Amino acid sequence: MASAPGTPRWPLLLRNPLGLLTTKMAARLEEDLTCSICCDLFRDPLLLSCSHSFCRVCLLSWWKNKAIKTCPVCKKGSSKAPRLNLSLRNLVQTFEEEMKRLSAEEKEKKKKNLSFSSKEKEASLPREKASLLREELREELREDLRFLQEKLKILSQTHEEMQVAVSHIAAQTEQTEKLIGDQFNKLHQFLWEEEETRIMALKEEQQQKTQRLLDKMAAVSRDMETVSRSLSETELTTRRSRARTFLDTALENTTMGQDALIDQAKHLGNLGFHIWKNMQRLVQFWPVILDPNRAASELVVSDNLSSVRRGGTRRSPQNPERERFYTVLGSRAYRVGSHSWEVVVRDILVRSCTRTVFIMSKRSDPRPVDLDFPLDASIIRIPPHHYIHVLDQNTNIGRVETGPRTYIRQDNERVLFPPVRMVMVPPRHYCVVLNPVARDDQGQVQFDQSGQAKLRHADQEIRLTQEPFPLYPGEEVQQDVTALQIVFPDTALRLQALLDFTDSTGTKRTAGDEWLFEGPGTYIPHKEEVVLETIKATVIRENQAIRLRARKEGVDRSGTQRVTGEEWLVSKVGAYLPGAHEEVIDIVNAFILTDKRALHVRALRPFKDQGGFNRRTGEEWLVTLEQREAHIPSVCEEVLKEVQVTTLSSRQYCVILDPVGDGGKPQLGRKKVVKGEKSFFLQPGEHLENGIQDVFVLSEEEGLVLRAVEAFTDIDPMDALDSEEEEEEGEGGGAKRRRRAGISRRPGDRWMLRGPIEYVPSASVEVILRRQAIPLDENEGIYVRDIKTGKVRAVIGHTYMLTQDEELWQKQLPQNVEALLASPQDPLADRSDRNQAAVQRPRDKTHVVSYRVPHNAAVQVYDYREKKARVVFGPELVMLGPDEQFTVLSLSGDKPKRANVIKAVCLLLGPDFCTDVITIETADHARLQLQLSYNWHFDVQSPVSAEHAAALFSVPDFVGDACKAIASKIRGAVASVQFDDFHKNSNRIICSAVFGFDEKVNIRGSLQFPQNRLVISSVDIQSVEPVDQRTRDALQKSVQLAIEITTNSQEATARHEAERLAQEATGKLERQKITDQALAEKARKELLELEALSAAVESTGAAKAEAQSRAEAARIQGEAAVNEAKLKAEAQRIEAESELQRLSQAREQELSYQKNMDHLEVDKQEKLATIETQKFSHMVQSLGTETLKEMAKAGPELQVKMLQALGLKSTLITDGSSPINLFTTANGLLGGLPGQGQG
């Protein structure tokens, strides 16, 4: 049970200073026993495979709608179903009980420590009266104390009873939970969730009702404290007003109230039966569930609440719903009829016992019944409409004694049960009595020779509305009082005869016969028949029918003879009530046919359809709108599908396979071409080839490649159109038809049809391809192959349409060439960026391969069929023939140079440069690494001869060959010089080694390679680095030392120059300072003169301004005083006028109100007088003269009663002989007028 919000969970431990350690332990224990999801103590903890525990309800809520069941804390998957942690649950229960005990001890301790103090007030009475007053007060205090002690006693008893009730609720909860667990353990695992729902409901009810009792206990505790406080104050004070005020308050109702205990019947009643009705082998249904909360204290109810026994008095709380006698109430109500059960005593079935235990319903009649009725009493009073059974112990014969009467029991007689109410059958009801008594023709009960009522054993009697009747010994109510069944219109009861008899209509019924009782009417049951079911009429709407089947041979409602199992349709609109031997299989809806929908129907057996055609089994046909608007399938046919209309426009056609001929039979293997505009339904067995197709509309640049599938004579479509036209020539109107001879086509022939034309292929022609003219620019072309000869040619520079014997040919290129052609890199601009990712663009292989040769570049193309090559110089567009291929260059690259790094189609002619890294060794064995850059170009003169053009591509890798040759020359030259000499003259040594010397011993300007006309124009030394580490360090140190010497020299020069500049700046600064001081003194003199002048002006202006301001202030103050006086006078005048006006209006309203009230009062009095006069006149007229005479003759008392009954307040009756003063009597006749005597 969760703690109440806002209250500390451990009040006892936190208030106990010696219990600090206990507080920490309790807090730690509470943390260990708390669920991580609900943050409350565990309730039915479940242990997961990861060793974490959670409440069962919390874990199921967490796992709800989750495909993978994981731990809420560590998120690990649960491999198996969680187990109930019994040890943890027992620990939580022990912890809760200990906390309840500690809380109770704390409350008890608080009650003992409560003390109240009050101060006595000194008595101010005289001494001579103090003793007398003291005695009177003592007596009053004794009475008050007795009353308060009684009230305290009552409250204490109530508190103890509620404590017992709380303990009892806990015991009930524990027992109920145990029983629920025992029952659910018998069920399968899939009932787990239902078990959790029930236990949660029980816990919620326990929490609610326990909380309700705890609240009441708290209220009672507060009342006890108040009573104790008042008792103490009353003993210590002499004032009785406060005590009397408390005594005057009514004692509140401190009982537990209705429905305070756990409703065990709700949780345990028919638990298994209502959870899963199909599991009858594990559970048992009890028709009566007993309520232990309402059972008498001497009765003990079994665990399953189905039986009761007499035992010792139970110690249970005083539940106001508990019965005082040997009674136990059921948890279900039986509203009408009587119910009986067998009472088993020690496994022996008995019909009577000395003390009867009655089972009643919670909602049954709550009238008091003396259940502890003395059956051995000599005098028994039988109320009206009650009866008893008396057993004569001498003859062993029982008889019936009915009330109202007082029965005197003989010594040899024994009353079997207390007076029982007779069976009452209200109007339009009946009951069934088993083993009824035999009656004669007059309806009297027949008795045998011994006086025992004769019974018709094993027989039944249906008794309708009659006077209340008793049950004779042996009679039993088999069916309680039940309302007669009303059969409504369009419904009927299907009856079945149980034995042979003749019904009320004179029809002989044989056992097993079935017939209908049709409504409207009230069905009166008979013992010879039984109601099988209620049949309702089926409403047949428009375009509907019902499908019936005969259950046995007979005649239907239309008079047609039907055999068993026969089926038929009824389509008449209205309500149709099936006969006793008919059953409704289905409601058949009509298929609505339109001009766009038809039905595909198949015959199930031979019959004649609605159109009068004889159909054979398996025959299929179409039902269209032309035949009928709505079609209801008969029992001899079935609808296979709905067929939608096939609609062709003027630009569409279709080919029907296996068309249906004139005889309605499908022509297998044939085709039929249908051209639009047309709408039709496909007949059964027909289907379209390639669906609905569009008519081929060909332009001038389009054509169709056709092939004949069978031999036929082809007519030109234009000639076919002309042959269908009729021409009229001459005035005589003579007509002639023009026909041209066609072309004979054989199967497999191919030809081409060119546009412009609209073409619909016939059934003998197959359309293979649809050709379009391919537009080509001057620099575009396609490869075309003749499929007959196999020759491939290139068509370039004009629009071309392939013929029927031609096709596009795909030219295959090497993979490296494809990559180079598809690369987005520019051969000239991107020549240095070789690592750029190539973007593959798909190439149409049927188009002529073209390549744009950049400026100052050359491309070599080789024709493998002619076995010769051609070189194209840029800028130019190269277009390959069918047998031509590009020559791919494979050049060296990187630093140092590596072979086959650069792939290229075009050869750049330069000028350009290349960089290489080589390693050399000097004469003193110093190894150096040089990075050199060479400028190169090809020596090509325009126009280029074929020999020079072919020489350009004679060396496949001109870069690698040139770099190797130059590196060899440099190594040879450096090997003969020392390191110091090379370090000082590296450029001269390398250039002389590469270019050589001319006749004048001067270094040449270039190096030429005559094989491919390559020219090296210059060599650039980019870096020289020692290969040996020690040499590199020594060289670095020497360089650093030279740099330091140079740096120090520059620093000294800069320092001397800075000192010189500083001396010059100091002299200039001193001269400027003297000049500035002289100028400052001159300015100070001028400032003093100006300050003196401004002080004089300031003093004069201040005096003048102060005088002007004082004068202006005085003037303003005077004007304000005058205005204030005027405003006050005006305000007083306005206030006086408004007050005068208010008083005048108030007086006028008051006078008007009083005047109106006076008028209303006068009108009211006049109307009342008129009403009283009319009332008196009407009363006298209503009485009449005869009534007045009778009144005068009657006695005074009778007159007074009669007049009071008539509502007359005053009456004057005279015989005319006595004089009466009518002036004073009129006031008496009219009575006191309302309003008289009021001011």
Q: Tens digit of pLDDT for each residue in 867-912?
A: 888 999 989 999 999 999 999 998 998 888 898 888 888 999 888 8
Residue with the larger pLDDT of the pair 1238 and 872: 872
What are the b/e assignments for 488-509, b being 16+ CB within 10 Å? eebbbbbbbbeeeeeeeeeeeb
CA separation for the pair 918, 1154 (Å, rounded): 136
CA separation for the pair 846, 1083 (Å, rounded): 101
Residue with the larger pLDDT of the pair 399 and 1000: 399
pLDDT tier at 195, thresholds 50, 70, 90: low
- Which residues neighbour 222 within 8 Å (Cβ) at sequence distance 6 or greater? none
CA separation for the pair 857, 827 (Å, rounded): 9
- For residue 766, the cross-strand partners are 707
pLDDT mean over 1026-1053: 82
* 824 cis-preceded (ω within 30 degrees of 0): no
Handedness of CA 467, 473, 475, 476 (dihedral sign): positive
Handedness of CA 789, 794, 795, 801 (dihedral sign): positive
Tokens matching residue 1134: 């306005």
Instruction: With beta carbons less than 8 A apart as the criterion, state whether 217 and 156 touch.
Output: no
Burial of 625 (C-beta count, 10 Å sphere; 0-12/13-18/19+) = middle
Handedness of CA 443, 447, 452, 456 (dihedral sign): negative
Instruction: With beta carbons less than 8 A apart as the criterion, state whether 269 and 291 touch.
Output: no
Q: Mean pLDDT check: name the lowest of 201-215, 529-543, 595-609, 913-927.
A: 201-215
* pLDDT value for 70: 82
pLDDT mean over 388-410: 91
User: Is pLDDT above 90 for 211?
Assistant: no
Burial of 598 (C-beta count, 10 Å sphere; 0-12/13-18/19+) = buried
Residue with the larger pLDDT of the pair 3 and 380: 380
What are the b/e assignments for 650-667, b being 16+ CB within 10 Å? eebbbbbbebbeeeeebb
Residue with tokens 């032309």: 626
Going from the C-alpha of 425 to that of each of 431, 476, 494, 665, the distances in angstroms are: 7, 15, 26, 76
pLDDT tier at 223, thresholds 50, 70, 90: confident
Closest CA to 321 of 298, 295, 300: 295
pLDDT mean over 560-566: 90
Q: Mean pLDDT check: name the lowest of 214-223, 478-487, 755-764.
A: 214-223
* pLDDT value for 594: 92
Q: Where are the beta strands (DSSP E) in 897-1036?
A: 898-904, 906-908, 912-921, 927-938, 1007-1009, 1014-1026
Closest CA to 450 of 395, 369, 370: 395
* pLDDT value for 349: 35
Contacts for 389-395: CB closer than 8 Å, 24+ residues apart: 389/415, 389/416, 389/417, 389/473, 390/414, 390/415, 390/416, 391/415, 391/416, 395/450, 395/451
Handedness of CA 131, 137, 143, 148 (dihedral sign): negative
* pLDDT value for 352: 34
The DSSP output letter for 1194 is: S
* pLDDT value for 4: 37
Backbone angles phi, psi at 231, to 5 degrees: -65, -45
What's the mean pLDDT when you consider all of the chain? 79
Residue with the larger pLDDT of the pair 157 and 440: 440
CA separation for the pair 99, 1 (Å, rounded): 11
CA separation for the pair 89, 111 (Å, rounded): 33
The DSSP output letter for 19 is: G
Q: Could you tell me the end-to-end alpha-carbon distance of the chain, in angstroms, rounded to an integer?
A: 72
Closest CA to 151 of 230, 217, 216: 230
What are the b/e assignments for 142-157, b being 16+ CB within 10 Å? eebeeebeebbeebee
Element of type H or E holding 955? none
327-330 and 358-361 strand pairing: parallel
pLDDT-above-70 percentage for the chain: 77
Tokens matching residue 1037: 């140190």
Residue with the larger pLDDT of the pair 1104 and 885: 885
CA separation for the pair 165, 1135 (Å, rounded): 78
Instruction: With beta carbons less than 8 A apart as the criterion, state whether 703 and 756 touch.
Output: no
Chain segment 1165-1181, per-residue pLDDT in tens: 999 999 988 888 888 78
Going from the C-alpha of 146 to that of each of 149, 151, 160, 703, 1125, the distances in angstroms are: 5, 9, 21, 128, 80
Its pTM stands at 0.43
CB atoms within 10 A of CB 979: 19
CA separation for the pair 359, 811 (Å, rounded): 105
Q: ∠ CA 555-556-562 to the nearest 5 degrees?
A: 55
pLDDT mean over 1024-1032: 81
Closest CA to 176 of 90, 100, 263, 259: 263
User: Is pLDDT above 70 for 837?
Assistant: no
Q: What DSSP string describes 119-172?
A: PPPPP-S-HHHHHHHHHHHHHHHHHHHHHHHHHHHHHHHHHHHHHHHHHHHHHH
Going from the C-alpha of 869 to that of each of 563, 859, 887, 907, 915, the distances in angstroms are: 101, 10, 9, 15, 32
User: Is pLDDT above 80 for 642?
Assistant: yes
- Which residues neighbour 1042 within 8 Å (Cβ) at sequence distance 6 or greater? none
> Among the ranges 164-173, 248-257, 958-967, which has the highest mean pLDDT value?
958-967
* pLDDT value for 430: 95
CA separation for the pair 478, 1003 (Å, rounded): 142
- Which residues neighbour 1004 within 8 Å (Cβ) at sequence distance 6 or greater? 995, 996, 997, 998
CA separation for the pair 362, 327 (Å, rounded): 12
- Which residues neighbour 165 within 8 Å (Cβ) at sequence distance 6 or greater? 213, 256, 260, 261, 317, 319
How far is C-alpha 1039 from the chain's CA centre?
82
> Among the ranges 266-280, 636-650, 1083-1097, which has the highest mean pLDDT value?
636-650
Instruction: With beta carbons less than 8 A apart as the criterion, state whether 474 and 435 touch.
Output: yes
Going from the C-alpha of 443 to that of each of 426, 460, 1184, the distances in angstroms are: 20, 16, 58
Element of type H or E holding 794? strand 792-796
User: Is pLDDT above 70 for 12?
Assistant: no
The DSSP output letter for 454 is: P
Instruction: With beta carbons less than 8 A apart as the criterion, state whether 809 and 792 touch.
Output: yes
* pLDDT value for 1038: 75
Closest CA to 761 of 806, 807, 720, 803: 720
Tokens matching residue 845: 């292989």
pLDDT tier at 27, thresholds 50, 70, 90: low
User: Is pLDDT above 50 for 428?
Assistant: yes
